[in-house]
Each structure stands twice: as structure tokens, then as C-alpha cells.
Amino acid sequence: MESLTLSDVEQKYYSELFLSCDVDNTKKVASNGKVLDLFRAAQLSNEVVHQITELCGATRLGHFGRSQFYIALKLIALAQSGLPLRVESLNSVRDLPLPRFVMGKNEQETRHAVMFADTENQGPYFPRPPGRVQAKKVSAHEMIQPCVPTVDPQPDTTSPVVSPHQSPPTSPHAWRKHKRQASGGNVDRQPSVPGVVWPPFREAQPGPVTGDGMWSAHSPPPVQESWVSFTDTPPSSTLPMHPPSAQVITTVRTVPSAMTTNEIQRQISGYDDPWKITDEQRQYYINQFKTIQADLTGLIPGSAAKEFFTKSKLPILELSHIWELSDFDKDGALTLDEFCAAFHLVVARKNGYDLPEKLPESLMPKLIDLDDSAVPEPATEVDFSASPVEVTPNKSPSMPSLNQNWSELNQSNEQWETFSERSSSSQTLTQFDSNIAPADPDTAIVHPVPIRMTPSKIHMQEMELKRTGSDHTHPTSPLMANPPELSDETKLAATIKFPGTTVGDGYSSSDSFTSDQEPISSAVNRQRSHSGTSPEGLKVVAPPPPPPRPHASHSRSSSLDMNRNFAAVPAGPQQPGVVAFPPAVPPRPLPTQTSVPHGHRSVEGDGLPAHTSTSPHQMPEQPNFADFSQFQAFAVDQPADDGENTSDKTTGTMKTAKNDIQSEERNATTVNSAKVSTPLAPPPKPVRRRLKSEDELRPDVEDLPQKSNVIATVLATQPSIPRSIGKDKKAIQASIRRNKETNTVLARLNNVIECDHRISLEVQLEQLRPFSHL
């Protein structure tokens, strides 16, 4: 045999082919069978084939030895390039392209199947995308180079190229069909894409045989290899040949999951932009996206993406970097675009490309998905759902570079960031201050309470006077409404009628009262307004000077409750039960009021309405707020309620309510008149009580004349409890006492709260002091 000098590439190629033919591993290839198929695949006429066979000496030997085989291959190459078959030319011809073999579809498919099956074992190889050979382009021949899965010992460094038509059942390599570049001039080395080592490639490139070996084309071989492994579409074989410079990048995706080890490797020809995603690739990515997240407009959470990309067996650091690049909005999740970009980067990395420092423009989000339609080839070819990418070199249309978006985003981000920086700095400093001194009107109102305490009886009387003089200016006359509630629907509330409805009104009116510190007058007013606010108001009415509750704040909140509570509002126990009363109160207060100790009534009656109105919790509307008598009764009851939760409350509350109201109002701020069982008189009281130690309010009430006592007792006890009308003064006084106590407690609390902040600041100062003179 003539000596044959082969270039490295040829060497590799030939050896691969030989191995592929050498199924039996006998190092001899029979002339029949695969060899012939191979030769025929070279698309040479039979004559030529025969001639070649003769030339190489196979006929002599009857079989193809390795050398013969090589010679034959070389001759084929010669023939394909149109050169005469001459033995002499074997060595003389330089730059002979590798012989090309065209595979028939069937074979391809078969091989394909084999490949698939074979690629199960990943080993060092990556599952190869089932590439189908595509119909070649006019001049392109598909070179089928099954990658011998390195399993076979490769004699040379280059793993022998398996002959195309050999579908090595055992060889776990994937067949790769590469499309040869149209320019046949160069040896097209198909980069070994699929995980399987690409023998030639391996040689040519330092492609590591490791898992990453796939992409041996680290430095894209100078020769353009544009080959794409397609999962073919039989019908249209658009062989996208890349223009010369194209570097095919096979995207290797090792996704053991659905892809079953078949990963697509796409090759991107990125001669002008290595990062462009071709349509096929994009389609593939989209399909992958769907496996994780069915909704294409949805997001893939970080954990899912992490799992997915971890399968690619890239080092975590690189994956982390890829993530950083691709998670554009930094939300910890990947949109479709982000996912495609990430996938693309993974593929590129697998193929040996270094990761960029910044996201390439073509990968920026908003890459289009539109172009998918451009590629006719569906993903069908991809058996493993990984559609081999057909390099469409020129196309990269899909990616409209989104520079502008990026830059815009960048700018906007920066601006945004600067804004945040700027603004936040001041915020932190000021936040503190706002926390100081919650201006609690209630608390503020509470303060006045003490003032009222002193006059006590005098106040009461004054209140009464005022009350008498006052008219139901307060529409809501919470007192009116409250009493009913307080008195447990009968006593006090008569006027309160509107326990529920009037609450609002009561509040408003009560508000005005709240400010009214005067026990009596305020009580009167309060009672009126209380109708809406709280039953306490009613109760308070009785005691003229129910602490001018900070109706403003409280009343509102409590008014509603107050209305309901009407009956039991005393500061102490919240008036849960009171609430119930208001509704039915209206009619009752009258009788109750009347029953109320008249002594009180005169004052209380007026006072109650006033109280109620004033008490913050008073029911908003006390239509009958004018009906002070009711309140009185109510107020009376209320104080009594403190100790007694009886139905009498309503009546008793009337009176006590007055007192209570007053006292409550005093403590109004503190008391949450939520319940406000006594809409009128009670409201104030209960409100106050609610706030804090409502009982303390009662003491305030005590100052009031007996009415206050009554109210206090009524209110103090429990908001919801309808005080028994018949509370005696003792009870009322007790309630008043309690209210007062509550008041003082609340006042103290107020101070404490206010001081608290100062203290904390001081503490901080102390802490810092040591460092000041280090």
C-alpha cells in the first residue's frame, strides 16, 4: 500500500469511520456491508466506488484493513472533489476535504434512535441531541460523524469517526450529523457537540473530555464549523450553514430530566454576535421553560431554576454568575426571557465560551420570542425535546438587541437608586421624631380631669345648672341614646334612643363636650352628645362635672360603642354589655330618668344629656338628648353599675351616668368607650374606663354631687351592665371613686408614655457617651 499521509483531521475522521465500520472490531472491514454503504453514501457512482476499492487494495485483500480503508476514504475525498483517482494523488493532494457521506434518512433515524438509546449513559458524554441529519443543502453534505463514545478505545487521539451508516447499538454515542459547511474547503470539523466526545474535536481542541468536553471548541476552530445537529425535520432540511465565520456553538444541555439525557446542543454561529440565540434555540428554551412553568408569561422561581440549571453540571460559581447576569430584574425569579438568556449562557459555557461580565445585549430581556415562527423546524425533531439547533447564522433575528432597553433600564435604575438613597437618608432621621408623643387626645383630655376633681359637688351643681340651661343642642345627644343602653334599655336610655344610630351624632356632639372641662356643664353637654358616643355620657350627665373627656378622640371611637353600650359605660369594665342596651333604650330613659333621684335629676337630667353628649363615646345621636331626665336616671344608674350590673343600671345609670359621664369624660381619653353601654351618661365613663383603669374615673365622679356618684357607680362597674336603677348613692359614689382613680391612673400613664421616649433617648445618649471620649 502506498504510504498514506493523513492530516490529523483526516486521521481522526478516518479512524472514526473505520471504527464505525468495524463493527466486529476485527480491524478489518469487509468490503461489503457497511463499507459499501459508506462509500455509497459518498454519493459516488458505483464505478467510482469500485475503482476506489481496487485502488486501495481491498479487492486484493478481500477486505478493508485499516490502511485500505483509509486509502479508500482518501480516494473518496478525491473523487468528491472531482480529482482523478490516482494513488499518487493520495499524498500529493493537500487540503483535501474530508470525504463526505450522505446518510439516508432512514439510516439517520435509525442511528438516531440508536443514538438516543445509547446516549442514555451519560458518562462523560453529554447526552446528545438526536440530531438528524438534515437534508443537505445543495453543496452541503451532511457529515455524519457519529461520535464514538469514547467507549471504544480510540487508537488515535481522535476517536475514530464512526461511519455514518453504522449505528452502533452499543456505542453510546450520539450521532451527530453535522452539516457541513457549504464551503467544503476546509475540513469541517464538527465540534463535538453532544456530550459525546467529538473525537476530532477533542483532538483539535482541548476540549476536556469531561462532561464539559462537549464543547471542545473552546476556541472556535478556525475553520468554521457550522454544523448543527438537528433533530431533523425530514421535510425541510434547511441546512443553515453558517457563513464562514460562524462558530457553531453547540448548546449542551444536560438535563437529565425530561430530556433524558439528550441534550440539545445548539450551535450558534455567532460570528458577529456569539450570544445570539437562534430561533431553534429559542424554541428549545421555550420548551424547556414550559416544563418548569407552563405559563409562558409566568416566572420560574429561583429554587426551580436552580435545580434545573444544576443539572447542567456547571460549577455552582458559574451558575451563580449566570444567574446574576440573567436575572435582570433581580427578583429571584426568571421570566421567559431571562430563562432563555440563562439557558443560553449555560449552553455557551458548556461549549467552552467564557461567561461575559455583563449580559450581552442580545440576551437582554425583551428578546423576542417572535422569531420562533421563523424557523420551520419544529421541535419535533428533538426527541428529547431538545431540538437541535440549527444554526441559522444569519438569522439571529430573534434577538433584537436590546441595548436600548438595557441602557434605559440602567439609567432608570440608577436614577431610581439615587432617589432612594437621597430620600431615605432623611427619612431615617425623621422617623424617630414622629414616634414621640402620640398625640392622644384622650390622654390630653384626661389631663383636665384632675381639674374637675376639685370642685366636685360644686361642679356637679354647676353642671346641673348648665345642663338645665343647655338644650339639646346636640342632635345626637348621646346621652339620650346612651342612657337607654346603659340602663339596660330602660332606664337611662330613654333619650338615648339612638344608641346605635346616634352614636355618630353623639360623638360629634360629645366632642364638643369633651373639651368641656366643666363638670356640670360639660356633663350636660356631654350627655347630649353622648347619645352617640357612649352611654357613659348619659351617666355622666348626672354628675355635672364628669371629667371632660377628651371627647374629640374618644368620643368618636367610642361613640358608636357608646351608643350601644349606653347602659354600662363606666370606665372600668368595658362595656361590652352596654352595647346591647342602646337600641332599646330610647323609651326607657324617660321613666328611668324620672326615677332617678330627682335631686340628681335636676342637675343630672341636664347633666346626663350633657354628659352623654360630651362623653366621647356618646352615641352620636341622641334625639332625646334633651331629655335629661332620662339621663339622670341613667346617670344615676351608671355609677351604680360600677358595682352592680343590673338592669337597673339604666335608670340608675341615668343619674350615675351623669356623674359617671362627667368623671368619665374626665378620663374620657383613657377610657375606651367601646361599649358605651350607656350611650348617654355612661358613655363618657365607660370610655374612660375602657382606656385604662376606668375605675379611676369613678373617683372623679365622686366629686360630683350625688349624681356623679350615681353615675360613677353605674358607669364604673361595667359598661355593659345595666346598672340597677336603684343603686344607692354608695354605689354611685364608689363608682365615682373608681372613676377618679382611673382617671389619675390614666393621667399617670400619659405622663409615663410621654416620658418614655425621652427616657429612651437618654438611654441612648448614655450608651454613646462612653464612646465620646475614648
Partner 1 sequence: MFHYTVHTSLDVVEEKISGVGKALADQRELYLGLLYPTEDYKVYGYVTNSKVKFVIVVDSSNTSLRDNEIRSMFRKLHNSFTDVMCNPFYNPGDPIQSKAFDSIVSTMMVQAC
Return residues touching partner 1 (CB under 8 A): 302-303, 305-306, 309, 316-317, 319-321, 323-324, 327, 330-332, 357, 417, 420-421, 424-425, 428, 431, 760, 763-764, 767, 771, 774
Q: How many CA atoms lie within 13 A of 172 on its CB side?
A: 16
Residue bearing cell 428549545: 284
CB of 515 to partner 1, least distance (A): 35
| Neighbouring-strand partners of residue 145 | 176
CB of 759 to partner 1, least distance (A): 12
Residue 755, H or E segment? helix 729-772
DSSP state of 404: H
Number of H helices, E strands in the chain: 31, 9
CB of 774 to partner 1, least distance (A): 4
**CB-nearer residue toward partner 1: 334 or 540:** 334
CB of 49 to partner 1, least distance (A): 55
Nearest to 653 by CA among 567, 537, 582: 567
- Cell digits of residue 142: 451532511
Distance, CA of 80 to CA of 163 (rounded, Å): 17
Distance, CA of 740 to CA of 745 (rounded, Å): 8
Distance, CA of 542 to CA of 536 (rounded, Å): 10
**CB-nearer residue toward partner 1: 324 or 471:** 324
CB of 409 to partner 1, least distance (A): 14
Distance, CA of 231 to CA of 195 (rounded, Å): 15
CB of 127 to partner 1, least distance (A): 23
**CB-nearer residue toward partner 1: 95 or 354:** 354
Q: Is the dihedral of CA 190, 191, 195, 197 positive or negative?
A: positive
**CB-nearer residue toward partner 1: 62 or 770:** 770
**CB-nearer residue toward partner 1: 1 or 355:** 355
**CB-nearer residue toward partner 1: 339 or 513:** 339
CB of 310 to partner 1, least distance (A): 8
**CB-nearer residue toward partner 1: 305 or 626:** 305
User: CA-based Rg of the chain, rounded to a whole angstrom?
Assistant: 48
**CB-nearer residue toward partner 1: 169 or 332:** 332
CB of 291 to partner 1, least distance (A): 18
The three-class DSSP label of residue 144 is strand
Residues 20, 169 contacting (CB under 8 angstroms): no
**CB-nearer residue toward partner 1: 120 or 762:** 762
Distance, CA of 560 to CA of 558 (rounded, Å): 5
Listed in sequence order, the DSSP H helices in 277-355 are 279-292, 302-310, 316-326, 336-350
**CB-nearer residue toward partner 1: 326 or 509:** 326
- Taken as a whole, the chain contains a residue count of 774
**CB-nearer residue toward partner 1: 66 or 757:** 757
**CB-nearer residue toward partner 1: 24 or 414:** 414
| Neighbouring-strand partners of residue 65 | 28
Nearest to 678 by CA among 615, 751, 736: 615
CB of 81 to partner 1, least distance (A): 49
Nearest to 612 by CA among 682, 670, 689, 561: 682
Residue bearing cell 346605635: 500
CB of 428 to partner 1, least distance (A): 7
Determine the distance from the C-alpha atom of residue 743 to the mean position of all C-alpha atoms in its chain, rounded to a whole number: 48
Distances in Å between the Cα of 131 and the Cα atoms of 115, 173, 289 are 9, 12, 21
CB of 309 to partner 1, least distance (A): 8
CB of 420 to partner 1, least distance (A): 7
DSSP state of 587: T
DSSP state of 650: H
Determine the distance from the C-alpha atom of residue 213 to the mean position of all C-alpha atoms in its chain, rounded to a whole number: 38
- Cell digits of residue 465: 345648672
CB of 482 to partner 1, least distance (A): 41
CB of 289 to partner 1, least distance (A): 16
Distance, CA of 382 to CA of 115 (rounded, Å): 12
Residue partners of 284: CB distance under 8 A and separation at least 6 = 251, 264, 266, 379, 382, 385, 386, 387, 389
Angle at 465 between CA 714 and CA 672, to 5 degrees: 35
Quickly count: other Cβ atoms within 10 Å of residue 329's Cβ.
13
CB of 317 to partner 1, least distance (A): 6
487: left (phi > 0), else alpha (psi -120 to 50), else beta? Answer: alpha
**CB-nearer residue toward partner 1: 62 or 771:** 771
Nearest to 122 by CA among 259, 303, 246: 259
Q: How many CA atoms lie within 13 A of 160 on its CB side?
A: 26
Residues 85, 50 contacting (CB under 8 angstroms): no
**CB-nearer residue toward partner 1: 356 or 726:** 356
**CB-nearer residue toward partner 1: 2 or 318:** 318
CB of 418 to partner 1, least distance (A): 9
CB of 323 to partner 1, least distance (A): 5
Beta strand segments in 38-173, E = 63-65, 142-146
- Cell digits of residue 490: 330602660
Residue bearing cell 354628675: 543
**CB-nearer residue toward partner 1: 117 or 765:** 765
**CB-nearer residue toward partner 1: 3 or 426:** 426
- Cell digits of residue 133: 441529519
CB of 765 to partner 1, least distance (A): 11
- Cell digits of residue 324: 446574576
**CB-nearer residue toward partner 1: 241 or 363:** 363
